[in-house]
Structure 1
Amino acid sequence: MKTLYLMRHAKSSWSFDELSDQERPLNDRGRDDAPRMGQALAARRIRLDRLVSSPAVRAMSTAVLVARELKLPSSSIVVEPTIYQADVATLLAVIRAQPDAAQSVLLTGHNPTITDVANQLSPSPLHGEMPTAAVLCLHFQTDKWADVKPANAEFYFYDYPKNI
């Protein structure tokens, strides 16, 4: 079985006009919500084999804060450049390209694609978009990431900061 955690990056700041979109940092709420979601994952006794993130500062910061709460070194985060500005097909390809040795993967990405992929893979589609720092967890009845698809998906949980 494979377990996938899809996480939308935490709330970012729009206060720095001189920064590119990819360089935008987390705002205060985002810096609070990301570790809160990491704590919620830790409370569920989540063990990640792999944490994959977009290279955008807001996504990487989210991944680092979550990893810290899960007692994972930030060096364990894999930066995947194609997640930034990915369409659904690209994000699905990233998921399906994960090494089969990894049983559980958390992917930190961006809307609208992260929500679209969540809705495409989940047997329980979301109502509306994933809020910032939300996490959807799905189990897949397969031994190969390449075989991840809606037909072998099981909904496990969906959580977000306002729910905690």
Structure 2
Amino acid sequence: MKSLTLLRHAKSGLDNPALRDFDRPLNARGQKAARKMGAHAHDRLMIFDWVVASPALRVEETLGIFLAELEPPRPDPVWDRRAYLASAATLLDIIRETPDDAKHLLLAGHNPGIEELALRLAEGQRDTVYASLEEKYPTGALACLRLDCISWSDAGFGTGTLERFVRPRDIDPTLGPEY
């Protein structure tokens, strides 16, 4: 069994039209959400062996704040350009390349790919956790899955069970519902 946590970047600023999408930073609300989600991961004793992320600024900032809340040692992220605005299929390819000695992978990126990946990994699951994910995967949210495989290369759609889906507003109501 492998554990996979999917983190969507926190809320970014849209107020500077001169910036490329890739270079958009987090806004104050996004920074707060990233900190709260990192604290939540800390409280849940999450330990990541491997971290892969989109190199977009908003993901980089989200991950920096999020990981700072965790106990050391923290793995250095692998910045994978393919994860920038990637499809679920591309993200699955990235997952399959994870070293097998890693038990828990944190993958940070963007919608719609992250959401589609979570839904497709756990396709066939019908419960309240899955229904919550189907409703919306907002910025800053975490989806925690258990994958029924020994090697990451065997991960595939339908091989996962969504164990937990946490949105920033679930931890701090001031971070929703329009979030």
Q: Is the 8 A contact 1:55 1:84 kept in 2?
A: yes
CA 26–146 in structure 1, closer or farther in 2 if over 3 Å, else same: same
**Distance (Å, rounded) in 2 between the aligned partners of 1:62 and 1:148:** 26
Q: CA deviation at 1:151?
A: 4.1
Instruction: Give the aligned partner of residue 174 of structure 2.
Output: none
CA 155–99 in structure 1, closer or farther in 2 if over 3 Å, else same: same
Instruction: Give the aligned partner of residue 14 of structure 1.
Output: 14
Instruction: Give the aligned partner of residue 23 of structure 1.
Output: 23
After TM superposition, the structure 1 = structure 2 runs for residues 83-122 of structure 1, keeping only pairs within 5 Å, are 83-122=83-122
In structure 1, give the amino acid aligned to 2:155: V
CA 147–141 in structure 1, closer or farther in 2 if over 3 Å, else same: same
In structure 1, the residue corresponding to 2:135 is in which secondary structure? coil
In structure 1, give the amino acid aligned to 2:169: K
Q: CA deviation at 1:97?
A: 1.1
**Distance (Å, rounded) in 1 between the aligned partners of 2:64 and 2:72:** 9
Please point out which of 142, 150, 153 is paired with 1:143: 150
Taking only the aligned residue pairs, the percentage that are identical comes to: 38
**Distance (Å, rounded) in 2 between the aligned partners of 1:66 and 1:73:** 14
In structure 2, the residue corresponding to 1:40 is in which secondary structure? helix
Residue deviations 1:38-60, cap 9 Å, x none? 00011110011012110000011
Normalised TM-score (structure 2): 0.86
Normalised TM-score (structure 1): 0.94
Q: Is the 8 A contact 2:119 2:134 kept in 1?
A: no
Q: Report the RMSD for the aligned CA atoms in angstroms.
A: 1.5
**Distance (Å, rounded) in 2 between the aligned partners of 1:114 and 1:59:** 12
Q: Unaligned stretches of 5+ in structure 2? A: 172-179
Residue deviations 1:13-54, cap 9 Å, x none? 001111100000000100000010000011110011012110
Q: CA deviation at 1:154?
A: 2.1
Please point out which of 138, 153, 158 is paired with 2:160: 153
Q: CA deviation at 1:72?
A: 4.4
**Distance (Å, rounded) in 2 between the aligned partners of 1:74 and 1:2:** 18
Moved more, 89-98 or 119-128: 119-128
